[in-house]
Amino acid sequence: MLKVYKTLKVYLKGETLPFLIGLAAILFVDYLQILIPKLTRSIIDGLYMSSVTQHGLLKIAGLILLITLGIVVMRFSWRYLLIGISRRAELRMRRALFKKLLTLEPEWFAKTKIGELMAISTNDMDAVRMMMGMGVVAAIDTIVLQLMVITSMLILNAKLTLYIFLPLLTLVIIVRYLGRIVHKLFRDVQESFAELTAHVREIISGIRVVKTYAREKSETKRFKHSSKDYAEKNIKMIIVWGLFEPAIGFVVGAVLVAILLFGGKSVITGGMSVGELVQFNMYMGLLIWPMIAMGWVINLYSRGRASLDRIMEILNTEPKIRTIHESYKPKFITGKIEFKGLTFRYGEDLPIVLDDVSFKIDAGTFVAITGRTGCGKTTIVSTINRMIDTGYNTVLIDDIDVKKYDLGTLRGNIGLVPQDGFLFSASIMENIKFGRPDANDWEAIEAAKIAQLDKDIMDFSEGYDSLVGERGVTLSGGQKQRLAIARALLLDSPILIFDDALSAVDTETEELIFNRLLKVRKNKTTIFISHRISTIQNADFIVVLDKGSIEEIGNHQQLLDNKKFYAEIYAMQKFEDKFEDNEL
């Protein structure tokens, strides 16, 4: 429990006063509950001895009613205060989790299932909140109330109280044993739920592919298997949890029998009054809730602890790519880029993707990178904005190692248009302005015009306010790419990278976009990755990659004169274009 508190301490900062007031309210409620059996005893003994008057009866009844009202008010108070603490702590933890996720590198997300992250952000977070809220409240209430009740029982009749200790001790052992099992089973349930969530999310995202290949039946079968696994693990936990209440019921029954036998005998022999036996029995009634709650508290704690471990596993993950201490934050970046002996592989056991790559890009230069699929083009540009990290002094911007830059400053000065540009479930305008939410509408529209998207937008009923749907499902592949281009152009960054960003655009539109880019990106560094020679032939120089190494480098004419790989690709593409023209 102490370890859990140390873990949660940072999220409970500033909650000391509400906690103390709430704790005082719980103590007061428990004390008031102890008074009612005492007052009830005085009424019963008074009636039995005929010593109580009607006025006295009304007075005691009124006092009990007043105490009950006090219990109601105080119980509301501690619920408001203590459960409110758990809600605020949950808010802080959820924010911390989201913030941590934003710091982790793409490689980490590639190894982690989205469904698992969703389960941690929802179910696990709820379990931790319940542990911090009702779990803590019930734990305090059960401990305090049990101590008060047992103390009162000992004072009333120590001998009779001792008879119920053995069953209670047995219950503690059972609860502790079952609690450990619940902890393990709940973790299994959460992991199964993550698998189920990931599967559903994947199928919904790829519903078109599923339907295209008529895989509905097979995917339904897979879902049935995942669902069955989740249900079975839940049933296992329910079986264990279901043993709590029968165990408590048996203990309560045994205790009531002991009270009736030994307490009744004491009344007959004159050792106790009828009122005292009723008082003792009412105390036992007060003990039933803590005894039942004990199992519930263990269950909440076990679930919360298992969920907290999963959450903290993420929160304790240190991002591999991060800003160093005393990082470089220039006010302006010219856009000069240099690669010096860049060698990279995605894992120690994986093949080399880039092998001793070295070349310079002067500020304001238009550079193209081409080569076969899988030759390392995307990997090269991913090192510039540190989406992947390399060795020191292998990638430099303005003669400074990219590792020394403040990460926000570095990426804020680099625009990137990937081949598959991600779009958010928002309007076209909001997607264009994603990188610059404060931009004027006319600036966003100008960026759309450069990307040759404005004509398409005019065909939408709501124009720039049209919603694109999840992941841009309402747009074609070419429209998505052009929207991503407009988003990057709006940044007007010193460095702009196009990673095969026109692959879904027709040749005519591509040429229009390219010509506009040459004008608006004049004197700004632009890197263009493409397989089409017609797209990149006007670049200041072209880098040709093959198997992770630089095969050739030079401008279009120089590479043609070399009569190597680039010239072969150019001749092949010219032949294909001519063949297509003849077909038309």
Q: With 90 as the cut, is the pLDDT of residue 103 above it?
A: no
Q: Per-residue confidence at 212, pLDDT binned at 50, 70, 90?
A: low
pTM of the prediction? 0.74
One-letter amino acid identity for 447? A
Question: In the prediction, which pLDDT does 2 show?
Answer: 67
Q: With 80 as the cut, is the pLDDT of residue 53 above it?
A: no
One-letter amino acid identity for 177? Y
Token duo for residue 213: 């290949």
Cα–Cα distance list, 53 to 41, 43, 61, 64, 285 (Å): 15, 10, 12, 17, 28
| Domain pair 95-315 / 420-492, same fold | no
Q: With 90 as the cut, is the pLDDT of residue 395 above it?
A: yes
The CATH H-level (homologous superfamily) assignment of domain 95-315 is ABC transporter type 1, transmembrane domain (1.20.1560.10)
What is the CB-side half-sphere exposure of residue 449 using CA atoms within 13 A? 7
Rounded Cα gap, residues 68 and 74, in angstroms: 10
Mean pLDDT of 292-298: 73
Q: Per-residue confidence at 97, pLDDT binned at 50, 70, 90?
A: very high
Rounded Cα gap, residues 415 and 524, in angstroms: 12
Q: Where are the domains of the chain?
A: 95-315, 334-413+494-584, 420-492
Question: In the prediction, which pLDDT does 168 show?
Answer: 67
Mean pLDDT of 16-21: 92
User: Minimal CA–CA distance to 487: which of 510, 464, 508?
Assistant: 464
Question: In the prediction, which pLDDT does 515 show?
Answer: 81
Name residues whose C-beta falls within 8 Å of residue 386's C-beta, 6 or more positions apart in sequence: 321, 402, 403, 407, 410, 411
Question: In the prediction, which pLDDT does 517 show?
Answer: 83
**CATH class of the structural domain 334-413+494-584:** alpha beta
Mean pLDDT of 297-302: 80
Question: In the prediction, which pLDDT does 471 show?
Answer: 65
Question: In the prediction, which pLDDT does 296 show?
Answer: 74
Strand partners for 361: 337
Burial class (CB in 10 A: 0-12, 13-18, 19+), 210: middle
pLDDT in tens, 359-385: 999 999 999 999 888 888 989 999 999
Instruction: Tell me which H or E stretch contains 297.
Output: helix 274-315
Strand partners for 359: 339
Please provide the CATH number assigned to the domain covering 420-492. 3.40.50.300
Token duo for residue 329: 């934050």
Residue that wins the pLDDT comparison between 200 and 176 = 200
Question: In the prediction, which pLDDT does 214 show?
Answer: 75
Rounded Cα gap, residues 240 and 178, in angstroms: 7
According to DSSP, residue 106 is labeled H
Indicate the average pLDDT of the chain.
84
Q: With 60 as the cut, is the pLDDT of residue 581 above it?
A: no
Rounded Cα gap, residues 333 and 494, in angstroms: 6
Rounded Cα gap, residues 304 and 89, in angstroms: 14
Q: With 60 as the cut, is the pLDDT of residue 225 above it?
A: yes
